[in-house]
Amino acid sequence: MHYLSLWMFVVAIGLLLIGYPVAFTLGGTAVLFTVIGSDMLTHWGLSLPWEPLFRMARLNILPGRIFGNIMDNYQLVAVPFFVFMGVMLEKSRLAEDLLETMGVLFGRVRGGLAISVVLVGTLLAASTGVVGASVVTMGVLALPVMLKYRYDKGLASGVVAASGTLGQIIPPSIVLIILGDQMGVSVGDLFLGALIPGVMLAMLFIAWIALVAWRYPDRAPALPASARDFTGGALALRVLGLMVPPLALILIVLGTIFAGVATPTEAGAMGALGATLLAIFNRRLNWPNLRAVMDQTVKLTGMVFVILIGATAFTMVFASLGGPELVEEMLLALPGGTLGFLFFTMLVIFLLGFFIDFIEISFIVVPVVTPIAIKLGVDPLWLAVMIAVNLQASFLTPPFGFALFYLKGVAPPAIRTTDIYRGVVPFIGVQMLALVMLWLWPQLVLWLPGLAQ
């Protein structure tokens, strides 16, 4: 009977790889394998030995699971709030102002424009938590400017794609909220644990850019003096007016979570309100913008929750077929014990990231491996951050990395697909380095949550 669960997993992955919508794949696979083990086959004159065991997985208990695991799950309410906050900052063009100001600040340094893209990408990651929004925004704003000042096409593409994916790991991140829910880890602790790795990764990106600019000055030149036409006083006013308010909003939202004053859901609501007030203050809030923000929030939130409903059905049927026991038996039999299990898990997640989105991986793979990791004594908080960094790297990996598709969709015609692929390879290497550092020094993840306890 257990091997039927393996076929269920294979069918789901196969449908995802051919591009079938993930929510329908998960829900449809659950229905299909429920039918295989139900009375319908008996009605056709067939009998299967596992049918009595499979009765408990009938889909008439699914509504109870949905309400118990999803509708009553308070921390998942944070998802639409943080999505609204990020989209509002994007549509009100505050991200564009940030990039222009950073460009002026760092433009006199070789590679300064690329460094400013990483810094703005970090700020966007801390405000949007949505990779697609960050990559598209940075691609539209930064790529034309970098090409204008004769940046190498590959470097420019790699910087934009890599900085856009920081939304995967820097809190408040949607993937961290989902991982916290699926792994039974406090979202507040997960935000704390991911903060140092996220900032460290951004600093590693900047270090690579500085190295390239030093070794190959023509690939990342400084901006000409004409592009830095702000006097000291005017620049100070620009920084205070355009950079401080969004930074203050991000610090307040994250600070209330880290200090234990507010839950992630409450902080998300505060962030959504704060982003709206910033748009009003900057006279950027109008009906078309507000409608676009609400439409995008509904679409992104609806996508996450529809997938979660399908995943709930999938995991329920998969568990009833004995899938977790089969996977546990296979993983525990790997050579190397805990290290072998972790290496294999990271490898599978990385390879799946070539083809399917982080949401599918979070809802299919993570619930299966988490109980085994806990049984082996692996800290689930550390494992969640490792998975998030791994998934972030998969966003950049050719040929199917989602960040590459987002970037190609908005890149100028001068940017070819080969330029994007060439540009992201060094940043994938940097992310692998970060993953190794987190593996060797778990305290990079566990130190801040430990202080908060």
The whole-number pLDDT of residue 45 equals 47
Q: What is the largest CA-CA distance in the chain?
A: 86
Greater pLDDT, 56 or 222: 222
Question: Can you tell me the mean pLDDT for 423-432?
Answer: 91
Residue 62 clears pLDDT 90, i.e. is over it: no
Let me know if 10 is exposed, middle or buried by CB neighbors in 10 A (0-12, 13-18, 19+): exposed
Question: Can you tell me the mean pLDDT for 48-56?
Answer: 47
Greater pLDDT, 411 or 410: 411
d(CA 150, CA 221): 7
The whole-number pLDDT of residue 72 equals 60
d(CA 122, CA 140): 17
What are 173-208's pLDDT values in tens digits?
778 888 888 888 888 889 889 999 999 999 999 999
What are 216-267's pLDDT values in tens digits?
888 888 877 665 555 455 656 666 666 778 778 877 887 887 777 887 778 8
Q: What is the pTM of this model?
A: 0.74
Residue 79 clears pLDDT 80, i.e. is over it: no
Question: Can you tell me the mean pLDDT for 438-449?
Answer: 92
Q: What is the Cα 33 distance to its own chain's centre?
A: 30
Residue 443 clears pLDDT 70, i.e. is over it: yes
The whole-number pLDDT of residue 48 equals 47
The whole-number pLDDT of residue 73 equals 61
The DSSP string of 96-112 is: HHHHHHHHHHHTTSTTH
- Retrieve residue 89's tokens: 């900052």
What's the angle, vertex CA 370, arms to CA 367 and CA 373, rounded to 5? 160
The whole-number pLDDT of residue 212 equals 92
Residue 316 clears pLDDT 60, i.e. is over it: yes
Q: How far is CA 321 from CA 1, 77, 209, 305, in A?
A: 7, 31, 50, 24
Question: What is the pLDDT confidence band of residue 433, given thresholds at 50, 70 and 90?
Answer: very high
Tell me the percentage of the chain whose pLDDT exceeds 70. 74
d(CA 422, CA 417): 9
Tell me the pLDDT of the chain averaged across its residues: 77
Question: Which of 38-52, 322-336, 387-401, 439-453 has the least mean pLDDT?
Answer: 38-52
Q: Looking at this protein, which amino acid is placed at residue 409?
A: G
What are 115-162's pLDDT values in tens digits?
888 888 887 776 655 566 667 767 777 787 788 888 899 999 999 888
Q: Structural domain boundaries of the chain?
A: 77-452
